[in-house]
A and B are shown apart, each in its own frame.
Chain A
């Protein structure tokens, strides 16, 4: 009989909108191990951890921690029991120092006064104990991402966490930082801590974890000893079919240039690098890169959400400098935003209202100042059908849909109306396989019918599979251009993404297809 520190049994969680996120899920973690919790986006990992951490209350199921049944009501009670969580989105107060963040909630001092010196001492002590390298007096706002993550871990340790949940910790890290994190994880393990490592990166799981539990569609698929299974086997457990979504893609037939980008800065630094490239009709240009290397800036500049102050952007020959979003869209741009819930939709508005936000001002939809209800209703029905949006009715508020269906609403809006240029920024992030496949296919179809597509994605599979040509970004500049994306290996791409390699200006200049006059 092995010594389990945690076992969650038959957890079922239904969200207020009726979505069943966990159905009879079980998870058992042995004392002192690193346990991988894996599964696709939307498989129910986050929900399960929220239940464990007291942030959500399950409808059914039991949780045993260190042999006792527990009912964590909120994160506070979970922390008290010795469960610590390192969130993917850091939970730090940026204006406070490292030490203040670490001791926050358990501050030293008497009579309500905060003893800053003692806080520094204690923070220093725990930093020393686990051999972290970080200055307790630094303001958290000034730290690099990897260091912020260390503060997160230290916070949990300061509170006496025996079980640490790391929620996709490597998603935001550079490879070097990831290596450093793994060293820390080993050190924590040596000191007797147990870790749950949430990830869907198979290589990392292989490297660091002992056991793995895989979830799919809100259910437990199975548990295995990592050394007993191959990466292929794990991926088959996760997806239920091969990971690679093969997309039928006829060869590209690029025609005239649709988008011209010249010396566009991708960061706020006045002396920072810039990007120049073209996209022709009937071509998909992929943009790969570790997130935060200028992708958002690029997308916002093209979409009119960020003024083009230097450099030049032309859509179908027209300079977009100073143009409103509507004017730019009238030039033929359609835009899938990376932030679906903030920009991509109005969550409380219904499906129909979300489908026409970019076009409703057009004359054809109004009649004597009133909107043409019937026409809109009919178009909505058509789009719901064409894009296979799963909903109860067309007047259903978008927030009641699943992530994949919300994205389909966005895509239906942006892909209808024959766009000349599609700016697809993380078009399949966080959505289910079915919707992902659907959207990728649509992108390829549109490009085959003559649309120019700029595909920005953090998903390497996606950029490599879908793109015709490829641009790689690193520190706000272009580090590589590949005219043929299918000829690029993942390894090579990785090296350009991480700045280990850099193409010459001449090679990158291939991205500009200027016809010589």
Chain B
């Protein structure tokens, strides 16, 4: 073994860390799924049927696969939104409310304005995004101006936004003919056209994946994205460097809110015939899971979202075919977050590996030249 690796250069510590992040995430997913299997074994009469439906159901037909993508789309939006906000080290949970209000505003634009095709959904998406931006902006503003903790204020804001939305739905947008609280049917002009028949795989689904690249460029290749990440990593450093901390935090919240709002709009315009949300859709929290899985990297968000979409799709199929409720999924999700967030999860393995590489490196150096003791007590 050792001989084989000899001429390959030793990995740098950064490469080791990247590898371990991947391994950790995968291990976390496997452990969570195993836990889920145990739960299914406990509650189900026919656990194997249930579990196989859960794991393999989504792959059974092309339609199911399309459904995975369709399920993943709002998760991509939410994941991107949370990634941008978390990159700035803001635990802003208002993505949930932003997504909700985005859907509501988009449907209002859809039913209240008559506009030509193309223009109609674009305007609805943009206004939905703008509404979402406003929602996420509020906890950011309270944090920047007053130092009010954004976690609690944003969670409370979600409820406020929900009730405000339900009020608007009930008093201004309701279609009495529907028989339940919902808007009128969304006009054809406003809908995002379905690309695969008999599924909800629509233009917005594609847009979600395209946005990942855009958000990546924003976060990693623009100066504002750079500022966002530096503020997120070390606020004092950012301030010392002359980066406007408050403004940067706020722009990250606006950007995140816009993405979430647009996600809500895309979901409503592509997958629904009427707006009918009278409870929070929950995508905002899913965004936290996706962002955690992706390590806040927009390019990895689709993977996280597809993984989650796959699980969700599988859970749905399982609940239709067996006696296990879809909600078992939330336990899987929670476990994954816990494990991925655990800094010491698999840390020992990593440390051993780093030590062994360091020793090899030392040996190489020793044979090459006299070792030069390098100062600095390493974080001491």
Contact = CB atoms under 8 A, between A and B. Distances in A.
A binds B: yes
Interface in B144-189: none
Interface in B188-241: 217, 221-223, 226-227, 229-230, 233-234, 236-241
Contacts of B227: 361
Interface of B: 12-14, 217, 221-223, 226-227, 229-230, 233-234, 236-244, 351, 354-355, 357-359, 361-362, 373-380
Nearest to A357: B241
Given A342-B234, A371-B223, A41 B375 contact: yes
A347 B226 CA distance: 15
Contacts of B233: 346-349
Interface string A316-346: 0000000011101100000101000011111
Contacts of A365: 223
Most chain B CB within a 10 A radius of its CB, from A216, A358, A392, A434:
A392
B355 A347 contact: no
B361 A18 contact: yes
Contacts of A20: 358, 362
A325 B237 CA distance: 12
Nearest to A339: B236
Nearest to A435: B375
B236 A342 contact: yes
A358 B240 CA distance: 9
Contact of A392 (B14, B240, B355): B14
Contacts of A40: 375
19 contacts: A14-B358, A16-B354, A17-B354, A18-B354, A21-B380, A42-B375, A303-B240, A346-B233, A346-B234, A347-B233, A357-B241, A357-B243, A370-B217, A371-B221, A371-B222, A392-B12, A402-B376, A430-B376, A430-B377
Contacts of A366: 222-223
Contact of B223 (A41, A349, A361, A403): A361
Contacts of B14: 350, 392-393, 395-397, 400
A371 B377 contact: no
A47 B375 CA distance: 13
Given A17-B13, A342-B236, 19 more contacts: A16-B354, A17-B354, A21-B377, A41-B375, A42-B377, A303-B240, A324-B242, A325-B242, A343-B237, A346-B237, A346-B238, A348-B234, A349-B229, A349-B230, A371-B221, A371-B226, A396-B14, A402-B376, A432-B373
Contacts of B229: 349, 353
Contacts of A434: 375
B237 A404 contact: no
Given A18-B357, A392-B14, A397-B14, A402 B374 contact: yes
A46 B376 contact: no
Contact of A403 (B236, B238, B376): B376
Contact of A343 (B236, B244, B376, B378): B236
A360 interface: yes
Nearest to A330: B242
A18 B350 CA distance: 11
Nearest to B241: A357
Nearest to A18: B358
A432 B376 contact: yes
Nearest to A14: B355
A193 interface: no
A239 to B, nearest CB: 12
Contact of B378 (A21, A348, A353, A392): A21
Nearest to A395: B14
A225 interface: no
A114 interface: no
Contacts of B358: 14, 18, 20
Interface in A359-375: 360-361, 365-366, 369-371, 373
